[in-house]
Amino acid sequence: MHEVTATQGLSKPETYREMNSQLEAVLAGERDGLANAANMAALIRQMLPDLNWAGFYFLRGGELVVGPFQGRVACVRIALGKGVCGTSAQSRAVIVVPDVHEFPGHIACDPRSRSEIVLPIMSAGALVGVLDLDSPLLARFDGEDAAGLSAAVAILVRGSDFRGLHDASPR
């Protein structure tokens, strides 16, 4: 069992360095992508302030299907190109949304969410799914979050076997 170290009082870059160091420790010796995604969602929710949802959607049957998460009940299926998650998956790009109400086609799974960041998860050139974080605060996420979370996704991909969790997608 891993005891999470608090990051209160650290700068955002220091928080991500600490979180990613702990993520490496949590994932050490475990290759199961589902187990690793579950622990990563829990770690993110514990270590990052002002979140109301943190979790994964995996590409299955040509759409995103909810995976491990921490937060309120979520939308189960999201079409590629729809909402922030579907748009990130389709474009294979990190998307930072300061105000979800200004994002065309935003899907409101939790009406308390005000801002969002979504990162594609790529493995061997194929889309596995996305990491999605929501906050009840406007403009909660920025470039520092994108950098820190991109590093976290890289740790997850390096340490995980995702076979069976997602469809193979075109590169």
Task: Encode pLDDT of 24-62 as tens digits.
Answer: 999 999 999 999 999 999 999 999 999 999 999 999 999
The pTM (predicted TM-score) of the whole model is 0.94
- What does the domain layout of the chain look like in residue ranges? 12-158
Cα(48)–Cα(46) distance, integer angstroms: 6
Give yes or no for a contact between 23 and 2, defined as CB atoms under 8 angstroms apart: no
- The string of pLDDT tens digits covering residues 128-137 is 999 999 999 9
Q: Summarize pLDDT for 94-144 with one digit per residue, the tens.
A: 999 999 999 988 887 788 999 999 999 999 999 999 999 999 999 999 999
Class of domain 12-158: alpha beta
